[in-house]
Amino acid sequence: VTSAQRKSFGSDNHAGAHPAVLTALTAANIGDATAYGDDPLTEGVTARLCAEFGAAAAFFVFGGTAANVLGLGLMLRPFEAVICAESAHLNGDECGAAERVLGSKLLTVPAPGGKLTPALIASQLAGRGNSHRAQPRAVEIAQATEVGTVYTLDELRAISEFCRASELLLYVDGARLANAAAYLDCTLADLAAHADVLSFGGTKNGAMGAEAVIVMNEPLAAAMPFQRMQLMQLASKMRFLAAQFGALLDGGLWLANARHSNAMAARLADGVAGVPGFRLAHPVEANAVFGVLRRDQVRALQQDWNFHVWAEEAAEESVTRWMTAFDTTPADVDAFAAAIRATAPLPRQPVF
Ligand SMILES: Cc1ncc(COP(=O)(O)O)c(C=O)c1O
C-alpha cells in the first residue's frame, strides 16, 4: 500500500460520498423538476427531516459555514452578539464569516473540553443593558464539539434551561450531530428539543455537499426563505441536495454511518492505548481521536500518513487529530495504529 492509497485520518471531509448518496443522485436525475425547492422530492425529504427533529421547518444549504451563518442570522439583530466557545469552529475556522455577514460580535469563552456551561455563558452577560456593549442574544455550541467531545443530554438541558431563563436563544452547530446522536444513543429529536435552531451535517456523514438548517419554531423560520436567497445558499437544482438527505434518512443510514465512524475512532484509541509517548488530549466520544505525541513521533508518522497537527503543546509535544469517516475500515485503523506504535521507541541519540 502506498501512502497515496492509505486511508486519510486528516478529516471526515476527506472521505468520498456514500454509494447510496450517489445512487440517490442518479435517481433524482431522471426528468425535470421545478427549481428552487418547489419539487416533490425536496418537499418530501424536508417533511421527513422535520418529523425526525420535531421541527417546524428545515432548509437545505451547501455548506456548514453557511448553515451556521444562516441559522444564527435568524436570531440576531445587528447589535446583538453570540456567546460561543473560544475553540468553536464558528470562531476559529470560518474566516470570520458570521462577523462579516451578520455583523455580529462573537463573545468567546475559553471552554474546557470544547464545552460551554451555564456558568461560562453567564460570565458573558455583564454588559446587558449597557448601550456601549454588544447585547448577548444567542449561544452557539457544537454537538459534537470541535475537539470530538459530546454534550450529554443533561448538559444540554442545563444549557437550554439557562438560556430560556436568560432570554438567550440556543443555536447548535450540528456538522457532526449524527455522531453525537450515535454516541448518546438518542434520537435527533432528543437533541433538538434543547435548541432553537440547529444545523444537521450531511457532508461529513456521507453526502457530497449538503447540510440542513433545522428551525424549531415557525416565527424563527419566517425569515429564512429570504435570507437563504439573499445570502446565496438557495440551490436552483434543490432536488440534488434533498436527494442526498433522502438517502441518509433511508433505513437510518445517517445513524449507521455515524455509529461506524465513531466505532473506528474508539478502535483507534484502543489500538494505541499505552503506547509510550502517547496520551489522549480529550476523551474519544465521536469520530475523532485527539492524541498527544512527541514531535519525533509526529514527524515519523507524517512521512506516510495524513492527519492534522492541531496544536504544538509543550516544547517536545504536539496535539494531533485523527479523524475517522463512514468508510474507514478496521484494517485502515489497525494499519494506522501499528504505524503509531512503531514510532514509540525514542530516536537514537548521536554518540560523540
Ligand atoms: C463543527 C463544524 N462546523 C462547521 C463546519 C463548516 O463546514 P463547511 O466546511 O462545510 O463550511 C465544520 C467543517 O469542518 C465543522 O467541523
Q: Given the CA of residue 13, which atom of ligand 1 is nearest to it?
A: 14
285 lines ligand 1 (CB under 6 A): no
Q: Pairing state of beta strands 308-312 and 135-142?
A: unpaired
Q: For residue 10, how far is its CA from the centre of ligand 1 (angstroms)?
A: 14
Kindly give the residue spans of alpha helices, DSSP state H, lying in 81-124.
89-92, 97-102, 118-122
Q: For residue 328, how far is its CA from the centre of ligand 1 (angstroms)?
A: 20
Q: For residue 65, how far is its CA from the centre of ligand 1 (angstroms)?
A: 6
For 169-186, b where at least 16 C-beta lie within 10 A, e where not — what string?
bbbbbbbbbbbbbbbbee
64 lines ligand 1 (CB under 6 A): yes
pTM: 0.96
142 lines ligand 1 (CB under 6 A): yes
Three-state DSSP class for residue 323: strand
88 lines ligand 1 (CB under 6 A): no
Q: For residue 131, how far is its CA from the centre of ligand 1 (angstroms)?
A: 33
Helix 239-249 with 253-272: angle, nearest 10 deg: 60
User: How far apart are the C-alpha atoms of 11 and 19, rounded to whole Å?
Assistant: 19
> What pLDDT shows up at residue 347?
73
Mutate to test the pocket of ligand 1, among 12, 89, 197, 241 (most ligand atoms within 8 A of CB): 89
Nearest by Cα to 46 from 295, 331, 265, 241: 241
Q: For residue 238, how far is its CA from the centre of ligand 1 (angstroms)?
A: 21
User: How far apart are the C-alpha atoms of 273 and 47, rounded to whole Å?
Assistant: 44
> What pLDDT shows up at residue 2?
57
Low-confidence ranges of the chain (pLDDT < 70): 1-4, 313-314, 350
**DSSP 8-state code for residue 140:** E
List the strands of the sheet with 169-173, edge to edge: 57-61, 211-215, 197-201, 169-173, 135-142, 80-85, 106-109
**DSSP 8-state code for residue 14:** G
Q: For residue 67, how far is its CA from the centre of ligand 1 (angstroms)?
A: 9
201 lines ligand 1 (CB under 6 A): no
User: How far apart are the C-alpha atoms of 49 and 39, rounded to whole Å?
Assistant: 16
List the strands of the sheet with 288-294, edge to edge: 279-280, 288-294, 317-323, 308-312
User: How far apart are the C-alpha atoms of 149 and 287, rounded to whole Å?
Assistant: 9
Cell of residue 136, nine digits: 448577548
User: How far apart are the C-alpha atoms of 129 and 147, rounded to whole Å?
Assistant: 34
Q: For residue 64, how far is its CA from the centre of ligand 1 (angstroms)?
A: 5
Cα distances (angstroms) measured from residue 72 to each of 61, 131, 254:
14, 22, 24
202 lines ligand 1 (CB under 6 A): no
204 lines ligand 1 (CB under 6 A): no
